[in-house]
Structure 1
Amino acid sequence: MLDTVKPSAEADINQRIADRVRELRAARGYTLDALAARCGVSRSMISMIERGAASPTAVVLDKLAAGLGVSLASLFGGEAEGAPAQPLARRRQQLKWRDPESGYTRRNLSPAGWPSPFQLVEVDFPPGARVAYETGGRESNMHQQVWVMSGRIDIVIGDELHALQQGDCLAMRLDRPLIFSNPASKAARYILAIGDASAN
């Protein structure tokens, strides 16, 4: 059964994304126009996201992450304001987010804000869902591994198709366009391990 995100929780997550994008953009000294030029997302959309007035799709967030030189998972924020980062994230504390376009739900498993060379994310992927990430050649050296817990996921990296079944694990570098799809009639669940080799 797929996890659902309640409307109030969704608003909280959108605000967290808004704060994080604004914070990362300011830290890099980018204007809205500069970030728009770097990531291919319109200035008006970035402005709406930073105000928490838009529910961005996974594809839009991936473009923003690439433009900011971070992983998509890192856009969901660090520790809660005023609270120090902790090395333990209880299940109830882990942020969930639902892509409004594909319906897939991602849960950040890793402790928020904790300094680590990698992050873990759990994804519930509905039957028939498809997400195409167009970004490639990020400035940072991002790597990702996908471990399928249940169901089936097809992943296309560049022009290579990988049909993954339960228990399969695929390692990849995020340097080419990437498509995730679920061709099956049942939902799939998988774990993403995301790391930045340039941070080592």
Structure 2
Amino acid sequence: MTEESIHDRIARRVRDLRAARGMSLEALATQCGVSRSMLSLIERGESSPTAVVLEKLSGGLGVPLASLFDSPEPAPGPVSRFADQVSWRDPHSGYVRRNVSPSGTSHPAHIVDVTFPPHARVTYESGPRPSVVHQYVWMLEGTMEVTHGDDVYTLHAGDCLAMGLDRPNSFHNPADTPARYAVVLSSDR
């Protein structure tokens, strides 16, 4: 999927989710702490929003971040083919996330494959959400320092961290090599 088409997909998902909730741009801006003008740019596909902005949007819309990359059409079946999986690069940190789960399914979990550049960092200001979102970070290669609230965890290949998306969290690759991990998100909704 090209960089332009991923922005169009995000734009459509944000517009559709906002409309389904009967929210105005002003209401969503207030709910998620992103300016109305930035939301307008995102909904028109004219912005390259960062992971932090997308996390704020997903919180304001009450959905996992991974769902902002879903196709408007449900997956044609229960298999998500590698060629059809959406990849997106954070313009701030350069980390790349690929949605592995079939798009648009009614399953309560999302699987994301993340490749994180050396020395990069992303900090999310997550707070309480309408439903509890659980996140599992399973290290596949390299090392990551994950901060969840006041707790700091250093993860190496094979390690798995379980945490809720109820407090600020940060991901940092302290190494000189890329790190790769899988994220599994599930919701109590």
* Preserved contact between residue 14 and residue 54 of structure 1 (Cα < 8 Å): yes
For 1:162, the aligned partner's letter is Y
CA deviation profile, 1:43-79 (whole Å, cap 9, x unmatched): 0000000000001000000000000000000001235
For 2:85, the aligned partner's letter is Q
Q: 1:177 aligns with which of 168, 173, 177?
A: 168
Residue aligning to 1:28: 21
Q: Secondary structure at the match of 1:20?
A: helix
Map residues 188-199 of structure 1 onto 2, 5 A cutoff. 188-197=179-188, 199=189
1:186 and 2:177 aligned = yes
CA deviation profile, 1:106-152 (whole Å, cap 9, x unmatched): 00000111211101000000001100001211111100000000000
Give unpaired runs (5+ residues) of structure 2. none
Map residues 5-44 of structure 1 onto 2, 5 A cutoff. 9-44=2-37
Residue aligning to 1:3: none
Q: Secondary structure at the match of 1:163?
A: strand
Q: Secondary structure at the match of 1:161?
A: strand
* Preserved contact between residue 79 and residue 85 of structure 1 (Cα < 8 Å): no
* CA distance in structure 2 between the aligned counterparts of 1:120 and 1:22, rounded to whole angstroms: 23
Q: Which runs of 4+ in 1 moved over 6 A?
A: none
1:89 and 2:80 aligned = yes
Q: Secondary structure at the match of 2:48?
A: coil
**Aligned residues with identical type, % of pairs:** 54
* CA distance in structure 2 between the aligned counterparts of 1:18 and 1:107, rounded to whole angstroms: 17
* Preserved contact between residue 122 and residue 189 of structure 1 (Cα < 8 Å): yes
Structure 1 position 84, deviation (Å): 5.4
Residue aligning to 2:56: 63
Taking structure 1 as the reference length, what is the TM-score of the superposition?
Answer: 0.92
For 2:79, the aligned partner's letter is L
Q: 1:50 aligns with which of 22, 43, 62?
A: 43
